[in-house]
Structure 1
Amino acid sequence: MGGLRNSAWSIHCSSRSGCGCRVAIKIASARLFRVRLPLLREVANAKHTLTHRDGVLVQLTSDTGAHGWGEASPFPGFGLEAVDDAYRALEDALKQVTGSHCSGAAEFENPVDDLNPTARGALECAVLDLLARTANVTMRDLMASTDAPNAVRVECNALMTARDLDALSDEAEAAVAGGFKTVKLKVGGLSLDEDASRVAHLRKCVGGEVSIRLDANTVYDLESALAALDRFAIHDIEYLEQPLPIDELDAMARLRAKSPIRIAADEAATSEQSVRRVIDAGAADVIIVKPSATGGPLAALQIARAARRAGLGVTVTSMLDGAIATASALQVASVLAGEGGLPACGLATQGLFERNVAALPSVVDGGVVLSSDPGLGIDVDPAAVNDVSMGLT
């Protein structure tokens, strides 16, 4: 397990942040909230049907009274730690960080180990949020590594959750009316005939100018994936996410070589090491970066940059996270879009929640315009946190 170098946390900022190139904090106190966020309707992929999202929120408070927030919401079946494990990992980590001082040029070393990536990411996010708020800059400005301006607007895709065609029509029409230029549909949970019918129907509903992405969430084997790709290809699909299990990269490379549709790695791309394995195997054309699954926003940026250097496409999505983790992913997307453009991201999911702990910027014409407020750019509502809390420390 990592620790705190010189008992201090700090991070260098870009010169445009106006914070003197370095900010420092003292963690005066920390709290955890175990939360359950209810969804407005069931959301299903090929393996799971969700009615709510369970997670852990981290609140750090500095000696000046500033707050930083993070969120760990492991997704069922994604190969990450369980929510209880994330809670315990954060509980142990907060004992180490509470009371720690920031001084000199010491850099942040996360005390949560790599076996708990969502917990690790939650703590990293909370620290970055607190640092940025202390410096009165956005988190994206704090993280940026170049002088290129970060994007203020992040284009997004619309997630289609319906399985029956009538409901899918309604979702597709709403997406087009909302200005979305990209939609995403989960496949693999029904028969191939049913999925092929849904894909054809979706294309008919959105027309030829809207991109369609498909996500199989590891459900296929090589033979069934090839059969599905042959059926889907006539509908001009942008890419198919994670068609095979994460440990079948050689098979995914063979699939990619034969596929009429680009292949994206998602569950197989949750760390720099796993992305390197995907690249070395030639298993994907696109890397899906989920900051919540990678160990935090800084780790997500490293993964995305490594993929880009290797010539792969990149986009940023969430794990159907709550407002805090989604806000963090939007900050990551802003940095990447500023560095070299970014396709539509899977970050327009907050409308699926019945309750949340903060309001995110509205989706307008298929994109999100980020706030210029410091840190994550959102105001976490303590009353809302208490409303969804299942216990706190």
Structure 2
Amino acid sequence: MKNVRRTSTSSPVIHNGYRLVGVYCYDIPLTQPLQLAHGRLQQRQGLLLKFADQSGFYHWGEAAPLPGFSRETLTDAIDALWSWLDRQLSFEQLPPSIQFAIDMATSVVTERLAKTAEVSTQSVPLAAQLVTANETPQQLAPLAKLKIGSANVDADINRFNQLQRQFPATRWRLDCNQQCSLQQAEQFCHNVDLSVIDFIEEPCSHLDETVALAAQGVPVALDETIQSNQVELAMFSGLRALVCKPTLVGALTRCQQWQQFCQQHELAFIVSACFESNLTNDYLARLAKLWAPEQIPGLDTLKALGADLIHPRSADPSLPLLSEAELDLVWKLPS
């Protein structure tokens, strides 16, 4: 990122007793270009916020808007952060990715996680394996996730049926990203084996169409719907899960409201990643262990990133590690 360096504010920024001491930009290459529903991603960019607690220990938060999915761009997030530093915006007015980054470093939930046994992505069993577009896997985990919702419904049907025949022991989570009409979703569901599908995330462009599809016996999950600040969700027949991506939802208090909704209605609460760095992936693994220990989280996106930040993702790292000194410092608390 260029031209984002910022001079220090006149006084320290303190949130929940934590003092912001630095802001960094990162740019991580992907292991290969990633075709998402809304475009092609070549690299992952984001911000790291470094906070210090009262004991002098440092805590990291990550803001990484996902292009095509986040309401804000990375530039929007940076501009909002500067306004927050200048006390022109409150925490509640910040975009979701910045809210999550601040909470990741400073919230009461984070303090609870710090007191629990260490959990990393590697120790979360059976993370749903992501099958990307045009990928031909040689083997699959017991649970896999597949993107559907292309313009060619027949192609989606054929691809899923081929994978299901190739891996008959695998269960599936399908993600449509609201790309289908009700008629297209019905066509897909009438031509596949629904018994091997845990749920289809956001199958239709409008919630009322998704509700109508679920009423026909199709198990569905909501993702994009719960990212809206205005949504007042009511339970409906066929709803099986809420998929919560904190980078897109925002404050952890909002995420926890959806977790409590799932508890109330006996739904699966799925903590899911947005191709953030290893720092956030490990954090989400611990969050999933705290909030939904019986559920399999969606944390298989880390394999797409070609480098780690600050801490290696395993004891035997095989990827480049970008230390704090190698990141682009864009703001620092004056000494």
TM-score, normalised to structure 2, is 0.81
1:139 to 114, 119, 123: 114
Equivalent in the alignment of 1:289: 244
Which of the numbers 114, 117, 121 marks the counterpart of 2:100? 121
Could you tell me whether the CA contact under 8 Å between 1:250 and 1:281 is conserved in 2?
Answer: no
Match of 1:347 in 2: 299
Asked if structure 1 preserves the Cα contact closer than 8 Å seen for 2:28 and 2:45, the reply is yes
Are positions 1:316 and 2:295 aligned together? no
Partner of 2:128: 157
Determine the structure 1 residue equivalent to 2:3: none
| % identity of equivalent residues | 21
Change (3 A) 1:26 1:42: closer
Kept after mapping to 1: 8 A contact 2:38/2:69: no
The residue number in structure 2 matching 1:21 is none
Residue aligned with 2:42, SS:
strand
Matched residues in 2 for 1:312 and 1:252: separation?
17
* 1:98-117 correspondence to structure 2 within 5 Å: 111-114=90-93, 116-117=95-96
CA RMSD across the alignment: 3.1
Question: 2: distance between equivalents of 1:386 and 1:196?
Answer: 48
User: What is the distance in 1 between the residues matched to 2:148 and 2:324?
Assistant: 34
The answer to whether structure 1 residue 88 and structure 2 residue 88 are counterparts is no
CA distance in 2, matches of 1:160, 1:382: 26
Q: SS at the partner of 1:54? A: strand
Off by >4 Å, runs of 4+ in structure 1: 7-10, 280-283, 385-388
Aligned to 1:265: 222
Gaps of 5+ in 1: 1-6, 11-24, 97-109, 143-151, 363-380
Secondary structure at 2:203 match in 1: coil
Task: Measure how far apart 1:77 and its partner are.
Answer: 2.3
Q: State yes or no: 1:199 paired with 2:156.
A: no
- Residues 16-31 of structure 1 mapped to structure 2, 5 A cutoff: 25-27=17-19, 29-31=20-22
Q: Displacement, 1:67?
A: 0.8
Out of 214, 220, 225, the residue aligned to residue 174 of structure 2 is 214
Q: Offset at 1:128?
A: 3.6
Taking structure 1 as reference, are residues 295 and 84 closer, same or farther at Cα in structure 2, changes over 3 Å only? Answer: same
In the TM superposition, residue 63 of structure 1 has moved relative to its aligned partner by 5.3
CA distance in 2, matches of 1:301, 1:131: 13
Structure 1 residue 124: Cα displacement: 0.9
Tell me by how many angstroms 1:199 deviates: 0.8
Q: C-alpha offsets along residues 251-274 of structure 1, whole Å, 9 cap, x if unaligned?
A: 21111112x431111111126753
Which residue of the partner structure matches residue 103 of structure 1? none
Structure 1 residues 140 and 298: alpha-carbon distance in aligned structure 2, compared to 1, 3 A threshold: farther
Contact 2:91 2:99 in 1 (8 A): yes
The answer to whether the 8 A contact 2:202-2:221 is kept is yes
Measure how far apart 1:356 and its partner are. 2.3
Give the equivalent residue in structure 1 for 2:283: 328
Change in 2 beyond 3 A, CA 1:257/1:26:
closer
Match of 2:31 in 1: 40
Structure 1 position 361, deviation (Å): 4.9
CA contact (8 A) 2:50 2:61 kept: yes
Match of 1:254 in 2: 212
Higher relative helix content: 1
Which of 228, 232, 235 is matched with 2:188 structurally? 228
Deviates more, 1:62-71 or 1:327-336: 62-71
Native 8 Å contact 2:113 2:290 kept in 1: no
- 2:104–2:110 contact (8 Å) kept in structure 1: no
- 1:338-358 deviation digits (Å, cap 9, x = unpaired): 4xx21x211122221111213
CA contact (8 A) 1:315 1:345 kept: yes
Counterparts of 1:296 and 1:140 in 2: how far apart (Å)? 21
Counterparts in 2 of 1:154 and 1:121: CA distance versus 1, 3 Å:
farther
Unpaired runs of 5+ residues, structure 2, are 1-12, 118-122
Rate the CA distance shift 1:30–1:282 in 2: closer, same or farther, 3 A.
Answer: farther
Q: Is contact 2:64–2:276 with CA below 8 Å preserved after alignment?
A: yes
- Residue 32 of structure 1 and its aligned partner are, at CA, apart by 1.5
